Amino acid sequence: MVTDAYNGLDDGCKFENQSPCCGLLLITSDASRGAKRFTGITSILREIQYRGEEISRRHSESDRVTIATRRMHSQDARDVSKSEVAAVALGIRAAMNHIPAENRRQIIFLTDSTSVLDYYCVHTRSGGKQHISSTLMNDPHFKAMRSLLQDAKENASDDEARQTLVFMAKVKSNKMETDGFFDHDAADIISSLVKSISNKEIEKIYVESANAEQNDNNSAHDLADNPLAHVFVAPSLRLQDLEYLSESELKSVQVKKPQVVLKRERGVRLARCRHRMMDEFGVCDIQ
């Protein structure tokens, strides 16, 4: 779906009498557990626009990107799976607050946590619906997802409603020396970075950029409902990102290497990712 969105081959969002302004929303989330019950959570929201017939076959050059991140301090921070669920919920709230309604009709959530899939995708292996407990129904993170789904349907016409699609998939965390999926690697690094930064100081991770959008909602007040978000224009995903996504869950034969070699190669890869984060997201490592 991501490749098709870039190539203009997916007509799912091009409805009759509708301007070609809607697109695919890619939400990638991750959490990083720290000391003293502090956990950093991050969601990166990438709006991939369908540009219209005149350039529908050409890869778009830029995406609108929103980074929502914060630090948690609670008992849940001890259970990283709960923090991963909270990271997705952070992305949901950022989407509701910062993404136009017409760009929230086709959404893909990407996470490296199986617990997140089990939490939000309530189903059985046979395909039948599972009973949802009242506890889950009243959980704020689960309610956030239900609100997103309901909002997408309410803001769509009858024809569009049939095309309203929300998917959730697992993306493998990159442990190799080669580059992985950039948004997930960046979410991993940013969540690790902010676990040691107070929410009032999170803006320090960003450098001033001409591509950044001014947003009146960028306030540290009430972050649970109105997450601190940084909105800007960034280069579109590269071919290597799309190829990693397409092969993310395929089993591959890994060559065993000495631990010292793996550590060195991982460090080189992370350095490349941080450099790209600085160039494309304006995120700097303040540690």
pLDDT one-digit tens code per residue, 68-79: 999 987 665 567
**pLDDT above 70 for 234:** yes
Mean pLDDT for all residues in the chain: 78
Q: Which is more confident, 174 or 180?
A: 180
Q: Kindly state the average pLDDT of the residues 184-195.
A: 94
The rounded percent of the chain whose pLDDT value lies above 90 is: 38
Sorting pLDDT into bands at 50, 70 and 90, what band is 156? low
**pLDDT above 90 for 282:** yes
Query: Shortest CA distance to 232 belongs to which of 279, 171, 177, 166?
Result: 279
Sorting pLDDT into bands at 50, 70 and 90, what band is 103? confident
Answer whether 45's CB lies under 8 Å from 99's CB: yes
Sorting pLDDT into bands at 50, 70 and 90, what band is 50? low
**pLDDT above 80 for 6:** yes
Query: Shortest CA distance to 31 belongs to which of 205, 190, 211, 226?
Result: 190
Answer whether 233's CB lies under 8 Å from 65's CB: yes
Between 125-129, 152-156, 189-193, 195-199, the lowest mean confidence (pLDDT) is in: 125-129
Domains and CATH numbers, the chain: 2-281 (3.30.420.10)
DSSP category for residue 202: G
| Prediction pTM value | 0.82
Q: By 3-state DSSP, what share of the chain in percent is helix, strand and coil, each rounded to 5? A: 40, 20, 40
